[in-house]
């Protein structure tokens, strides 16, 4: 798994590529925690490059969502790959997240 | 006089069975995924159905590693049987008895962090068309069958 971050004035976008499973979920958690530690609570996850997303990866998304919402922020999802979208739906977590077809729309939603 | 060997039915002729054994180690999950993906391709499943099967099997194997063996050394046998249009995956381990078919999962329950683990079992149930569990001597044997294309929840 690889992540890259793009920071705007009010929003940070984390792009995720590759496999997010129990061996890489901690790396995703660390990348998100770094943004939280910088005081960023308006987050967009660009999931267009996600090839595999297991429940371990989903756990990180849910944990982060709760953390940012406590600080009146939000974690929104953009450009979901078919595989990421299927994993989120199968886990019944689609109702938790606001999702956007393109990244610019997700950024502009804050 | 030589007698011709009776022909097995077409579905039997095209039935294939393969098995891998992996250590109870999260790093081996990718190998299991690849194995299931290749097997799903042999059934003629489309890419989306193949991915859903990989997801379900990996969730099941991860449960065995995490909650079954709990960090102890152990082995997991993954056996696949393919026929045109159907994939059956049998996951066998020697961890303490655990029947995922009886684990209560409520898809509408509020999401609490600690309960996201149960989501893996929900994913398995939503992907697979048939699920059965058997305690066979010292082994847990979970049998997952996919025989319909997956086109979303």
pLDDT tens per residue, range B41-57: 999 999 999 999 999 99
Cα dihedral B21, B22, B28, B30, rounded to 10, equals 10
Contacts of A87 in chain B (CB under 8 A): 55, 123
> Terminus-to-terminus CA distance in chain A, angstroms?
27
Q: How far is CA A48 from CA A14, A45, B94, in A?
A: 11, 9, 38
Q: Residues with Cβ < 8 Å from B143, sequence gap 6 or more? A: B88, B89, B90, B91, B130, B131, B132, B133, B134
The pLDDT of residue B13: 60
Q: Is the pLDDT of residue B2 over 70?
A: no
User: From the CA of B126, how many Å to the nearest CA of chain A?
Assistant: 6
The pLDDT of residue A41: 97
The pLDDT of residue B9: 60
Q: Does the distance separating the beta carbons of B123 and A55 come in below 8 Å?
A: yes
Q: Which of B55, B150, B152 sits opposite A54 (nearest CB)?
A: B55
Q: Does the distance separating the beta carbons of B55 and A90 come in below 8 Å?
A: yes
- CA dihedral sign, ordered A22, A33, A63, A1: negative
For the sheet with A2-7, list strands across it: A2-7, A12-20, A42-53, A74-78, A99-100
**CA B124 – CA B117 distance, rounded (Å):** 12
Q: ipTM score of the complex? A: 0.94
Q: What region does A52 belong to: left with phi over 0, alpha with psi -120 to 50, or beta?
A: beta
- The pLDDT tens digits of the residues spanning B67-103 come to 999 989 999 999 999 999 999 999 999 999 999 998 8
Residues of A at the B interface, defined by Cβ within 8 angstroms = 19, 21-23, 52, 54-56, 58-59, 62-63, 66, 82-83, 86-87, 89-93, 96
The pLDDT of residue B12: 62
B23 touches chain A (CB under 8 A): no
Q: Is the pLDDT of residue B114 over 50?
A: no
**CA A11 – CA A45 distance, rounded (Å):** 11
Q: Specify the length of chain A in residues.
A: 110
CA neighbours closer than 13 Å in the CB half-sphere of residue B14: 11
**Residue B108 CB neighbours (<10 A):** 6
Q: Does the distance separating the beta carbons of A87 and B119 come in below 8 Å?
A: no
The pLDDT of residue B104: 82
| Closest residue in chain A to residue B62, using alpha carbons only | A22
Contacts of B117 in chain A (CB under 8 A): 55, 59
**Residue B152 CB neighbours (<10 A):** 11
Q: Is the pLDDT of residue B116 over 60?
A: no
The pLDDT of residue B118: 80
**CA A44 – CA B121 distance, rounded (Å):** 28
């Amino acid at each position: 798994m690889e992540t890259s971050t793009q920071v705007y004035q009010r929003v940070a976008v984390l792009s995720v590529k590759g496999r997010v499973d129990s061996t890489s979920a901690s790396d995703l958690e660390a990348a998100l925690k770094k943004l939280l530690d910088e005081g960023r609570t308006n987050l967009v996850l660009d999931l267009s490059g996600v090839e595999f997303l297991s429940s371990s990866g989903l756990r990180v998304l849910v944990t982060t969502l709760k953390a940012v919402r406590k600080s009146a922020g939000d974690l929104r999802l953009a450009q979901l790959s078919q595989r990421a979208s299927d994993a989120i739906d199968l886990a019944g977590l689609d109702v938790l997240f606001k999702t956007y077809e393109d990244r610019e729309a997700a950024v502009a939603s804050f | 006089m030589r007698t011709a060997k009776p022909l097995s039915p077409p579905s039997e002729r095209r039935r294939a069975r393969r098995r891998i054994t992996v250590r109870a180690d999260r790093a081996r999950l990718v190998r299991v995924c690849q194995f299931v993906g290749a097997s799903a391709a042999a059934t003629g499943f489309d890419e989306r159905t193949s991915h859903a099967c990989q997801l379900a099997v990996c969730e099941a194997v991860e449960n065995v590693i995490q909650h079954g063996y709990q960090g102890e050394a152990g082995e997991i046998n993954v056996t696949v049987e393919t026929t045109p249009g159907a994939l059956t995956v049998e996951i066998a381990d020697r961890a303490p008895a655990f029947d995922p078919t009886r684990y209560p999962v409520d898809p509408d329950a509020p999401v609490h962090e600690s309960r996201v683990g149960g989501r893996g079992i929900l994913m398995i149930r939503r992907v697979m068309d048939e699920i059965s569990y058997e305690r066979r001597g010292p082994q847990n044997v979970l049998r997952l069958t996919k025989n319909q294309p997956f086109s979303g929840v």
